[in-house]
């Protein structure tokens, strides 16, 4: 989830499956009416049993109105057997890695299109190192979450390697997920119990 406000001299034509003219029209609309840029994304979750739950992603608000996704996206989450679950879905922490790769990749496609670069391949691998002594409550010196995340991209297109690297770098610089994961965000939890 990342775009660019670059203003290339070149003609803006659809590229990489990106509707580049529409992308720039959207950027200009938000420039003119900043309140259109305010979005709220949402997820709901329903516990099933053990560490298994089902999440749904259905609606969001933004650009001044409410929106429904084209379909209701449903995702199971669970722990694997080695962590006393039944492996009916990825672990919650794995969804963070997926979100990071997807955000950087969407940004790469948009930015490449804005810069007139035709992409032929974007592949990535994400690894997150975590010491479970944190969440298991064994050591107070070990954090609960990942200690380090590494992303490796393989990118090909009709531009020199240096230009392709700049596209990845600009995507990083404007990635919502990269920002949240590296800088953190305030999270408030409320409970209705009874």
Cα 79 to chain centroid distance, Å, stands at 22
109 binds its own copies (CB under 8 A): yes
CB of 116 to its own copies, least distance (A): 16
66 interacts with its own copies by CB under 8 A = no
At residue 55, φ and ψ (nearest 5 deg) are -105, 150
**H/E segment holding residue 74:** strand 65-77
Does 154 sit near its own copies (CB under 8 A)?
Answer: yes
Contacts for 68 with CB less than 8 Å, ≥ 6 apart? 58, 59
Largest CA distance in the chain: 61
Answer yes or no whether residue 23 interacts with its own copies by CB under 8 A. yes
Measured from the Cβ of residue 169, the count of other Cβ atoms closer than 10 Å reads 12
Residue 29-58 contact track with its own copies, rule CB under 8 A, x = bound: -xx--x--xxxxxxxxxxxxxxxxx-x-x-
Q: Judged by CB under 8 A, does residue 141 bind its own copies?
A: no
What's the closest the beta carbon of residue 64 comes to its own copies, in angstroms? 10
Residue 84 interacts with its own copies (CB under 8 A)? yes
Please measure the distance between the N-terminal and C-terminal CA atoms of the chain and give it in whole angstroms: 39
Beta strands 65-77 and 52-62 are antiparallel
User: Does 138 participate in binding its own copies (rule CB under 8 A)?
Assistant: yes
Smaller CB distance to its own copies: residue 13 or 123? 123
Q: Which of 9/155 has CB closer to its own copies?
A: 155
- Least distance to its own copies from the beta carbon of 107, Å? 8
Half-sphere exposure of 89 (CA within 13 A, CB side): 18
Closest distance of CB 120 from its own copies, Å: 10
Per CB under 8 A, does 129 bind its own copies? yes
Nearer to its own copies, 9 or 68 (CB): 68
**DSSP symbol at 3:** -
116 touching its own copies, by CB under 8 A: no
- What angle do the packed helices 92-114 and 176-183 form, to 10 degrees? 130
């Amino acid at each position: 989830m990342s775009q660019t406000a670059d203003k290339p001299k070149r003609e803006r034509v659809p590229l990489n499956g990106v509707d580049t003219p529409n992308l720039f029209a959207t950027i200009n609309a938000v420039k003119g009416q900043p309140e259109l840029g305010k979005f709220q994304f949402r997820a709901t979750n329903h516990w099933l049993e053990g560490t298994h739950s089902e999440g749904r992603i259905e609606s969001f608000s933004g650009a001044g109105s409410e929106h429904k996704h084209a379909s209701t996206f449903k995702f199971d989450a669970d722990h694997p057997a080695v962590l006393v679950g039944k492996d009916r879905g990825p672990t919650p922490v794995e969804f963070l890695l997926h979100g990071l790769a997807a955000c950087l990749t969407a940004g790469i496609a948009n930015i490449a299109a804005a810069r007139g670069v035709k992409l032929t391949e974007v592949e990535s691998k994400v690894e997150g190192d975590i010491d479970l002594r944190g969440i298991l409550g064994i050591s107070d010196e070990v954090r609960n979450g990942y200690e380090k995340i590494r992303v490796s991209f393989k990118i090909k297109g009709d531009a020199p390697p240096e230009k392709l690297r700049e596209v990845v770098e600009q995507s990083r610089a404007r990635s919502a997920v990269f920002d949240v994961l590296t800088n953190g965000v305030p999270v408030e939890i409320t409970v209705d119990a009874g």
